[in-house]
Structure 1
């Protein structure tokens, strides 16, 4: 029976220099094989989510100093300002935030610069999509400032509209106060805010009096 020839690519060179190159090439090939195995759909999705979370954390940190300034001036917890901005604007990436610097979904009154966009409202136990006019701000800082002024001064028909928010001793009570005082139509709004605050540890930005 004829002796089977050894495949050339498996043959280890006798020359020391060529043998070194052989093992380097083999190591590179094994690395590629391992990498290909690691790059599964789940791995790719996990990497994508990790990058998204990193971007969100960076955005919150960029907003934080101004949110703390707002707390000093108006008594609104920095964590509440940050969580509302994140929730309402999808961490600054929503169309309303990018086009009109509106972080809080504040609707426009007559005479205010505005943009009209579709939005979801919770009415009679279900979500409906409606078109509404939203305030167009010159900057995100202007949006955060206007939001704090609204909570501090209330509405034109009720100056104490957000009394529970202002009286809150912690961010949990402030979040619940926003629902009690009628800020949002979403019945789960307070819970969503608290989840954002806890997930990103936003309470670390709250100033202790």
Structure 2
């Protein structure tokens, strides 16, 4: 007696189901690639990048001492903060991070110093030269020396930065800095003003 075997028919997967599965796998793959390729420094948290957070933290760290210097000597905090941010790239430059010099203040005479490459605007073009810069123990010490430069001027011109101290707003002070020759950059005043306005530094004046 022969035994008849029953074979169950396999149900063929429908085309829509196959397509849906393929699209699901593709979406998961694309999402994974995007997550892996996302740079850490530009990851956004509540609409603010890590870089922006670091810049705000840098400014907030300097604000209390900048206000103290304003009370003692009259220099506008917005100018201190704007210059510090511009000159040091928010504390990230080698001169600022390793040698605590926030303002690119040059070294003269027998003081702690370091020689680093720097760009100067000469004969209508930027050139790279080796400059000697002061070395400080802290950012606060750098801020103190920066303010005293405004107060005391230089040996050959004690009133060199007096217009900066007398300025009642950041625009006048920034232009006074450029006129006094603080930096060789012909756009220096504009850059300081833009920095102050972008980060609303005049709120501390």
Q: TM-score scaled by structure 2?
A: 0.81
Indicate conservation of the 8 Å contact 2:41/2:51, yes or no. no
* Mapped partners of 1:139, 1:55: distance in 2: 18
Q: Cα deviation per residue 1:71-100 (whole Å; 9 max; x = unaligned)?
A: 111111001000101111110010011111
Q: How much does 1:45 deviate?
A: 7.8
Contact kept? 2:154, 2:160, Cα under 8 Å: yes
Residue number in structure 2 paired with 1:137 = 136
Residues paired across the two proteins, number: 187
CA RMSD of aligned residues (A): 2.9
Match of 1:47 among 43, 49, 56: 43
Stretches of structure 1 lacking an aligned partner (at least 5 in a row):
12-27
Instruction: Quote how far apart the aligned CAs of 1:167 are.
Output: 1.7
**Relative to 1, partners in 2 of residues 1:47 and 1:117: Cα closer, same or farther, differing over 3 Å?**
same
Return 72-81 or 49-58, whichever deviates more.
49-58
Q: Which residue of 2 aligns with 1:74?
A: 73
Matched, 1:152 2:148: no
**Compared with structure 1, are the counterparts of its residues 35 and 190 closer, same or farther at alpha carbon in structure 2 (3 Å cutoff)?**
same
By how many angstroms is 1:43 displaced? 8.7
Alignment of 1:148-187 (within 5 A): 148-187=147-186
Alignment of 1:100-119 (within 5 A): 100-119=99-118
2: CA distance between counterparts of 1:45 and 1:36?
18
Q: In the alignment, does 2:13 pair up with 1:6? A: yes
Where does the alignment leave 5 or more consecutive residues of structure 2 unmatched? 1-8, 19-23
Shift of 1:184: 1.1
Aligned counterpart, 2:126:
127
Give the structure 1 partner of residue 189 of structure 2: 190
What CA deviation, in whole Å up to 9, does each residue of 1:85-116 have, x standing for no partner? 11111100100111110000011011010011
Aligned with 2:49: secondary structure?
Answer: helix
